[in-house]
Each structure stands twice: as C-alpha cells, then as structure tokens.
Amino acid sequence: MTEQALALRATGVRMEYRDPATRERLTAIERMDIEIPEGEFVSIVGPSGCGKSTFLKIVNGLLPATEGEIEIKHSKGGSDHAMVFQDSSLFPWYSVQRNVAYGLACRGVKRKEAFARALPFIKLVGLEGFESKYPYQLSGGMQQRANLARALTVDPELLLMDEPFAALDAQTRELMQVELIRIWSEAQKTVLFITHQIDEAIFLSDRVIVMSARPGRILADITIELPRPRDLDIKRTPRFVEYEEQIWRLISKQLSVGPEAAA
C-alpha cells in the first residue's frame, strides 16, 4: 500500500518457550505482525513479561521463533541490524574504544582500522576523551552511550534497542532521549525501541505499538503526529498528554484484567 521501502516486516510471529525439565510450554508471543518503513522510529510498549524482549531477540536472530517469518532489509555496506542491550552489556575487560569497535572486529575489520572507524561514533555520542577508559570508569549514562556507539559503528539498517535507558535516573534519562533523537536524525536509521516509559515512547517515536499482556499480541498501533524536531517541552503540550492518556488506558486495562492478574 505504502510507496515507501520497508526496513522490517514481521509476519505471524509466534513464540513458545519450553521448559527443558518439565516440558511445559509457555506462549510468550501469540502473534505479531509489524511493518516498519525505512527511517522510521517505532516503539513497543506493553506490560512486563508480555514478550517484548523476546520479540526483539527474534528479530535480532538470537532466538528462533516457533512460527512466522522475519524479513529485514539487507544492508549493502554495513550490518542488517544491531542491538543496543540493556545495562552492563559492555565487555568490562575492553576499553571504550575497543568496545565500540567490537562490531567491526566481528566483521573481520583489522584492529587499527576498526579503532579509527570507531572514533567518529565515540564523538557522536559525546564520549570524546574517554576512549581508553574501562567501563567501570564510566557513569551509567556514559556506558549506555558507549553501548549505542557500538551498535552504530556497524552502520546497521535497523537499530534494535531494548529498554536502553531503564537503569538510568530520570534526569539522565531525559538527556539521553534528547541525545538519541539528535543521533537518530543525524545517522538516519530505522529504530525499533522497547520501553516501559510511555512518555519516552511518545517523545521519541513516529509510531507506538501497544502490546497486550502475555501471551503478547498487538493491541494498538498509534501514529504520533507531533512535529519534529521535538524538545522536552513538548511533553507538557495537551496533544502529548492526550497520547499519554490513550496509551495508559490501553495498558492499565491489561494490568487489571490480564491473564497474569487472574492467575
């Protein structure tokens, strides 16, 4: 229907986990169908345990889905996709620069070249001067910047982010949101972003996908028609608050009558 090229299409993705000891099956995701056009910023929100991380892992190729198909735009120069993990996923034994260059090393780029190519991204996320520091010498926010830079260096078509700011305090979090928007508009990436914060999802995204409680499926796919560029003040505008309330109502209904609550 749309003229625009797609970066990701998920059709009929279903996921069951099986307990190796008891052989019990647990349906984490009932069905997910998503299409993301190139360059779009899409967030997924939903109650805890509804299968958001699971879905991202499937897209990332870390987990095979039980059913369904994932199609991802093939990148010509860089990687198809890269993941920004939650906190403490930097290699503690590598310097910032070596961590950021890691994705390139995985693709067989020589150490020296990889280090050189990592530099602009270190600069982009504002970590200049910290290249040779070890992760423990960085603050939580700085670690997440390094994490982001690591994903960006491989020039992915699709950037996957699983609650990247969950471990940060509220202020650092807002700063990082602004930073992420800046980096996103500079780097021109398609982003699939997972969060628990409704305001974060609205602030960042072109579209917010709301998931049901487990077993997860899509409840709503809301297009955020807020003008860009956005700054933090937008969070206080009536339209923003309206979106917030709309999404909150969807999720809170899940919380009270969801299968989790019944059990």
Partner 1 sequence: MTTASPALRPVRNERDRKHRSPLQRWYRNHEAWVLGASGVIGFLLLWELGSRSGVVDQFFFSKPTDIASAAVREVQLARFWNDVKVSVWEFVTGYTLAVITAIPLGLIIGWYRRLSYMIDPWLNLFNSLPRIALIPLLVLWVGLGVESKIAVVFLGAFFSIIIPTVQGVRTVDRRLLDVAKSFGASQRLTFTSVVGPATVPFITTGLRLGIGRALIGVIVGEIYAQTSGLGVLIVRANENIQPDRMFFGVLIFTFSGILGVAALRRVEHYFDRWRPVSEER
Partner 2 sequence: MAAQTTTSGLAPSEQQAKRRHPQPPRMRRSIKNEPLVFGIIGFVVVLIAWEAAIDLGMARASLLSSPTRIWSAAVTDFGNGALWPHIATSLLEWTVGFALAIVVGIPLGLILGTFRRIGMIVDPLLSALYATPTVALVPLIILLFGIGIGAKFAVVFLEALVTLTVSTITGVKSADPRHLETARSFGASRWLAFTSVTLPSSVPFIVTGLRIGAGRALVGVIVAEFIAANVGIGFYISLNGNLLNASRVMLGVLLVGAFGVFVGIVIGRIQRYFDRWRPAIR
Q: How many residues bind partner 1 (CB under 8 A)?
A: 25
Among 39, 78, 80, 181, which residue sits at the site for partner 2 (rule: CB under 8 A)?
80
The sign of the dihedral angle between the CA atoms of 18, 20, 22, 23 is positive
31 binds partner 2 (CB under 8 A): no
The pattern of x and - marking residues 50 through 69 that bind Mg ion according to CB under 5 A reads ---x----------------
Size of the site for ligand ATP (CB under 6 A): 11
Indicate which single residue of 37, 39, 49, 140 sits in contact with ligand ATP (rule: CB under 6 A): 49
Burial of 138 (0-12, 13-18, 19+ CB in 10 A): middle
# residues near partner 2 by CB under 8 A:
24
Determine the Cα–Cα distance for residues 226 and 229; give it in Å rounded to an integer.
9
Sheet holding 81-84, edge to edge: 6-18, 25-37, 216-223, 207-211, 41-45, 190-194, 158-162, 81-84
CA distances from 230 to 180, 200, 201, 247, 251 (A): 12, 12, 13, 20, 25
In the complex, minimum distance from the CB of residue 163 to partner 2, in angstroms, rounded to a whole number:
22
Binding ligand ATP (rule: CB under 6 A), the pick from 17, 94, 134, 248 is 17
Neighbours of 191 (CB within 10 A): 24
Q: How many C-beta neighbours within 10 Å does residue 184 have?
A: 18
Binding status of residue 147 toward Mg ion by CB under 5 A: no
CB of 159 to partner 2, least distance (A): 16
**Neighbour tally for 151: CB within 10 Å:** 24
If one asks whether residue 12 binds partner 1 (CB under 8 A), the answer comes out as: no
Binding-residue pattern over the window 158 to 197 for ligand ATP, x denoting contact by CB under 6 A: ----------------------------------------
Cβ distance to Mg ion smaller for residue 135 or 216: 216
Q: Which does 92 bind (CB under 5 to 8 A by kind): Mg ion, partner 1, partner 2, none?
A: partner 1
**Among the listed residues 12, 33, 48, 62, the single contact to partner 1 using CB under 8 A:** 62
Residues facing 192 on adjacent strands:
42, 160
Exposure pattern of 72-97 as b/e (b: 16+ CB <10 Å)?
Answer: bbeeeebbbbbbbbbeebbeeeebbb
Residue carrying structure tokens 């109650």: 47
Please pick, from the candidates 36, 43, 45, 53, the single residue that binds ligand ATP as defined by CB under 6 A.
53
The residues that touch ligand ATP, with contacts defined as CB under 6 A, are 17, 26, 28, 48-54, 214
